[in-house]
Amino acid sequence: MASQGSSNPGRGPQQGSQQSSSSGGGIQDAAFYSAMLDNLLEIIRHAEHPSFSRVIAAIRAGASHDQISQLLEEVLQRSPRFLSRG
């Protein structure tokens, strides 16, 4: 059985150790995951099919949380519907 003690599943050992060593690392992690979830929900609700499919494919392929977050930001920045969000 895998250890459940990791505070950064899927983020990789480098990012996780950097986050944990800084003061407020838990707060930064919470903000990271909250923003990523908000972006994911926004894409699910409103993105064009190709963009949505690209995100789902990356998730299914096992992309890290950082890679998924980067992809979500990229999709949001390139989509005309999201350019006016603020």
User: What does pLDDT average to over the chain?
Assistant: 77
- What are the structure tokens assigned to 7, written together? 């505070």
d(C-alpha 40, C-alpha 85), whole Å: 15
Q: Are 63 and 54 in contact (CB under 8 A)?
A: no
- Determine, yes or no, domain membership for 18: no
Total of domains in the chain? 1
19 within domain boundaries: no
Provide the domain limits for residue 39. Answer: 24-83
Per residue in 19-72, pLDDT (tens digit) is: 444 457 899 999 999 999 999 999 999 999 999 999 999 999 999 999 999 999
Q: Is residue 17 part of a domain?
A: no
pLDDT at residue 79 in the model: 80
Q: Determine whether 3 is exposed, middle or buried from the number of CB atoms within 10 Å of its CB (0-12, 13-18, 19+).
A: exposed
